[in-house]
Amino acid sequence: MLKLPPISLYIHIPWCIKKCGYCDFYSYVSKEIIPEAEYIKNLLKDLEKDLKLIYTRKINNIFIGGGTPSLLHNESIKNLIKGIKKRTQLSKFSEITIESNPKLIEYKNFRNYKKSGINRFSLGIQTFNSNLLKKIERTYNKKEAIKAIKEIKKINNNFNIDIMYGLPDQSLNNVLSDLKNTVKYNPTHISWYQLTIEPNTSFYAKNLHLPDENIIFKMFNQGEKFLKKSGYIKYEISSYMKSNYKCQHNLNYWNFGDYIGIGCGAHGKITKINGDIIRTVKNKNINEFIKGKYLNTKQLILEKDKPFEYFMNTFRLHQPVYKKHFQERTNISISDIQNNINKALQKEYLIENKDSWETTKKGKIFLNSLLKIFLN
């Protein structure tokens, strides 16, 4: 029986100081004054349209991403959160996260962010090595990165640090040094992941001197051991937490939950009462967006694609995937995918229990191969 999943809200702020060479998120550099008030007004109108699709469900958490949301003044964030609360039912203990650029952290602004309702901050540090920061085209240095962390710690205990490995000319010692610097400041959450170069980025056309696969594997193995020894629990492919500090917004994605996406280029996923699941993509043109043209595409997920979409998210988690959960979120019978499950079992990617499936160590390493089994 279909059970409507919990729902989150993602808000996209598209502006950046500078577009990083590896970034494939929708963003652009603003050379003029950002039309903050106009954009916030239209974000809330965009939200109003999508709220009609979710019936009476409460919003469980909010994530303000980008781009660089911390470019916005505190008054804009205040009006945004106030407007959302006026229009929606927020869960009592909603996690509200904002992504932040270390170059833009000012104590006064961020203290006001917290007063507006922000209770979790996410810092995109990437590396503490100033030379490597230049190579990946970040706009700050090690000293500024550390200052940003210290400022955030004064304001809020709950914060995430993003760190990458596999950077151009990065050594194993560089990686371990980054992780030591990270845990030194005791973040509640660490997102630690490998740099990947996507086709639609400026780095894709460059001849970057990236570490080879053997070095990458050593970085991954030794880094994981260090994080575990430092008291961080791995609960997803690239996410590590202190006890009870999972990122609730991302956890909703990985559990195939629903989410409204508002703002330029934002993506959404919404389950309807009849079991249909639709994906929305918002207009990427800022000028059209602030004229009220919000929706770009709305597409139905086909029945044959639902298992792949579901497992693409849930197999990322380091926990069992329950059969009942699969049926609730997809409205598909287990018997309809049993042949695919059997193939995954034969290849030793999965273990099947009475009520659940679990990815094996081999399945985690070859996750893409595992997912292809469910791809129609």
Q: Both 129 and 190 in a single domain?
A: yes
How do 90-100 and 7-13 pair as beta strands? unpaired
Full DSSP string of 323-362: HHHHHHHH---GGGTHHHHHHHHHTTSEEE-SSEEEE-HH
Q: Both 231 and 364 in a single domain?
A: no
Q: Both 248 and 348 in a single domain?
A: no
Q: Both 337 and 213 in a single domain?
A: no
Q: Both 44 and 132 in a single domain?
A: yes
Q: Provide the pLDDT for residue 68.
A: 87
Q: Is residue 292 part of a domain?
A: no
Residues of the chain whose pLDDT is less than 70?
A: 1-2, 18-32, 197-198, 201-205, 207
Full DSSP string of 43-95: HHHHHHHHHTTSTTPPEEEEEEEES-GGGS-HHHHHHHHHHHHHHS-EEEEEE
Separation in Å, CA 346 to CA 351, 360, 363:
10, 12, 11
- Which residue among 219, 253, 287 closes a domain? 253
Q: Both 309 and 248 in a single domain?
A: no
Write out the two tokens for 241.
């937490």
Q: Is residue 275 part of a domain?
A: no
- CATH classification at residue 67: 3.20.20.70
Residue of 53, 66, 63, 96 whose CA lies nearest to 280:
53
Q: Both 245 and 322 in a single domain?
A: no
Q: Provide the pLDDT for residue 201.
A: 64
User: What is the SS3 assignment for 255-295?
Assistant: CCCEEEEECCCCEEEEECCCCCEEEEEECCCHHHHCCCCCE
Q: How many domains does the chain have?
A: 2
Q: Both 248 and 329 in a single domain?
A: no
Residue of 218, 346, 355 whose CA lies nearest to 363:
346
Write out the two tokens for 340.
């695919």
Q: Is residue 246 part of a domain?
A: yes
- CATH classification at residue 313: 1.10.10
Question: In whole angstroms, what is the distance from residue 213 CA to residue 373 CA?
Answer: 25
Q: Provide the pLDDT for residue 30.
A: 63
Question: In whole angstroms, what is the distance from residue 149 CA to residue 160 CA?
Answer: 10
Q: Both 230 and 86 in a single domain?
A: yes
Q: Both 362 and 238 in a single domain?
A: no
Q: Is residue 327 part of a domain?
A: yes
Q: Provide the pLDDT for residue 4.
A: 92
- Classified as helix, coil or strand, 163 is strand
190: left (phi over 0), alpha (psi -120 to 50) or beta: beta
Q: Provide the pLDDT for residue 353.
A: 96
Q: Is residue 210 part of a domain?
A: yes
316: domain range? Answer: 304-372
Side-chain half-sphere CA neighbours of 24 within 13 A: 9
- Which residue among 253, 286, 314 closes a domain? 253
Q: Both 53 and 171 in a single domain?
A: yes
Q: Is residue 278 part of a domain?
A: no
- Which residue among 214, 234, 253 closes a domain? 253
Q: Both 322 and 200 in a single domain?
A: no
Residues 6 or more apart in contact with residue 23 via CB below 8 angstroms: 201
Dihedral sign, Cα of residue 225, residue 228, residue 234, residue 239: negative
Q: Is residue 91 part of a domain?
A: yes
Q: Is the pTM of this model over 0.75?
A: yes
Q: Is residue 287 part of a domain?
A: no
**Tens digits of residue pLDDT in 229-247:** 999 999 999 999 999 999 9
Residues 125, 118 contacting (CB under 8 angstroms): no
Secondary structure letter of residue 231 according to DSSP: T
**Tens digits of residue pLDDT in 197-225:** 667 766 666 767 788 999 999 999 999 99
